[in-house]
Structures are given as structure tokens and as C-alpha cells.
A = this chain, B = another copy of it.
């Protein structure tokens, strides 16, 4: 197997994290997501609350503050730099799956990394965030649109790439149309270069 690392970039509610976990079990790879960022950043001395506030789901106001303070290196930028270093170290060790955190962009030039984008239609995601993630049942669509907007803005700010552009990935899959388990199998097959 040529690919020692998988990155999964995903729309909120599309099941990208679940797919990552299932892949990790099948391949014997470690899976890193929000919990990893938390641990890594705690070690670097930044507080968890700050990550929640300024991390991937930072709101627009915070993103504006990123921009204004960028020249001097804002704490948000320091957080991103800490994440980037941690992700690069993890990729060097290999045998891991990294969900979110602009890992696709950070590792874009490595030949041993397989990049995946997971998306799904609104109905599928709305049903999923209520029944699987236990989110409140009122206006799940509004919550998803809000999250999408924040992820796009964060991704755009730190990568200057377009969120959801197929050309950044080996495979992009609609988990709502294909099914979560089917996506896992397709990624396994896709990254198998012995076929």
C-alpha cells in the first residue's frame, strides 16, 4: 500500500468522521479529529475553550479578527501553525487518518497521502445530525448552513482554496446517495494500488 495517510474533509453531518473511524478499524490506522487537536493544543499551552471559539468553526467575527491581526500572528494563526506542525508530524509517522483541520491542504504535496472529500444532500445531513449526533430538532438545516459557512470561511482563509473543489481530492463521495458503509468500501478500493 503506497498510501500511509488518509485525509478526510467533510461537510457537517455527512458522516465523514464515522467513515474515518470505520476505515481506521479496517486498516489498523489511528484516527485523529477534534480530540486530537484538543490534546495537541493543550500540550502547546492553548486552552480548549479558545480552540472551540477560534478553531474550524470560528464565526465570522472571529475570522475578521484573524485577518486584522494576521500580520502580527494572532493566537488563531498560532493555533493553525501548531495544528499544521502536529499534522505534518503525524503524516511522517504514517498509518493514520486525519479528519478535517485543513489536513488535505497541509499535506497536499505528499505522494503517500490519499485525500477524500465527503458530502451529502441537506435532507440526509439534517436527519443525521438530529438522530446520530443528538442535535436539537428545531431548524437542523439552519444549523448545517451556519456550520457550512464557517468551515468554508475557515478553509478559504487558511488555504486560499475553494471548499469542495473536487480537484483537490483523489475521491469525492456523496455519502447520502452511496451510503456510509459503501463509501468506506469505495475508499478502501480506491487507495488500493495493487488493483
Contact = CB atoms under 8 A, between A and B. Distances in A.
Interface of A: 11, 117, 119, 162, 164-167, 169-174, 177-178, 182, 185-186, 189-190, 195
Nearest to A174: B170
Given A185-B189, A190-B186, A165 B167 contact: no
A171 B170 contact: no
A2 B35 CA distance: 39
Contacts of A174: 167, 169-171
B182 A172 contact: no
A interface SS class: mixed
How many subunits of this chain does the assembly comprise? Answer: 2
Contact of A186 (B119, B166, B167, B186): B186
A170 B177 contact: yes
A110 to B, nearest CB: 12
24 contacts: A11-B167, A117-B166, A119-B167, A162-B162, A164-B165, A164-B166, A164-B167, A165-B166, A166-B166, A166-B169, A166-B172, A169-B172, A170-B174, A170-B177, A170-B178, A171-B173, A171-B174, A171-B186, A172-B172, A173-B190, A185-B195, A186-B186, A186-B189, A186-B190
